[in-house]
Structure 1
Amino acid sequence: EKQKKTRQKTIEKIGKKVKLAEKIRENLNLTGERITAGFRDAIERKATLDYMRISGMEETIRWNEDYEVSVKAPEYEGGSIRSFSNLSGGEQVLVSLCLRAAMTGILSGARFAVFDEPTSNLDKERKELLAHSLRELFGELDQSIIVTHDDVFSEMAQKVIRLEPAE
């Protein structure tokens, strides 16, 4: 009888440990999702602020848990959401640059960036806004290289290298 009670207590202790281990495992599994969601939300907020500053439009960037990007404009069709593929080329470029800037600032300690034709599909006004906002948009970069056909970045550059066609 005494051995039976001892075994029963041991079984109960093991059962409690198993339940605790399952709870810990469940919380650990959720931790990755929570951390990811936190970073995604922070990136979304920073990208939205930058997008609104550069575009001059009161739109918010949405980046859902399936990593689909969209833009929500309060006045656009009653506040409906436009998917990334339904944005104009210029809007896609701005959203992408703002997301990249946010990711660089939040996820990376990199102090260096390379931009290849960052003004493609942008109208003249947005090109100039981007050129003037780039330093602020990408924070405290030590160095950036911009490869472009646009002269709009020449004013802000410390060094300009022009490639002439071979004859």
Structure 2
Amino acid sequence: MSRDHSWRGNWKGRMYERVRERGYDSLTAFANARPTASLVALAEELGEDDVAGMQVLSELLAEAEQRKRIARFVRDMLVRELSECLPNGWPAVLDDASRFKVAKALGSWIADTPETHKERVRQVRTALLATPPPPGWHPLGPDDELLLTLLPDKEV
């Protein structure tokens, strides 16, 4: 049985050392190379027992704030949630099962969104539910055309 040691010691240093070992100069660059991977998958790739998805989230947000790219971060998180919860893309019909999956993706996304952007992402959620994307829509990254329309790079 493995033990989680993710919060022990200098976890930020450990995580960034592993990012550099993989040839990236930032956690964002590492994550951008895997645009549909979940935060847990990113964490496991960096260290299965000593990097947590929440740590990856925290540092991706910190890098986004530093670079003033929070809107892109927010879109990036939506892509990851949709990829995890809706691997076959947006459902053609919102029956009970697919509605739950959509709600899970959007709810997790909103929960992980910084307060500065929560109202805007709630508006995006409402827009997606009122006028659903085409069946099978599966954004492959944060620069997806529909996502850029719904949440442009202009910081709110």
TM-score by length of 1: 0.30
TM-score (norm 2): 0.32
Instruction: Return the structure number with greater relative CO, CA threshold 8 A, min gap 6.
Output: 2
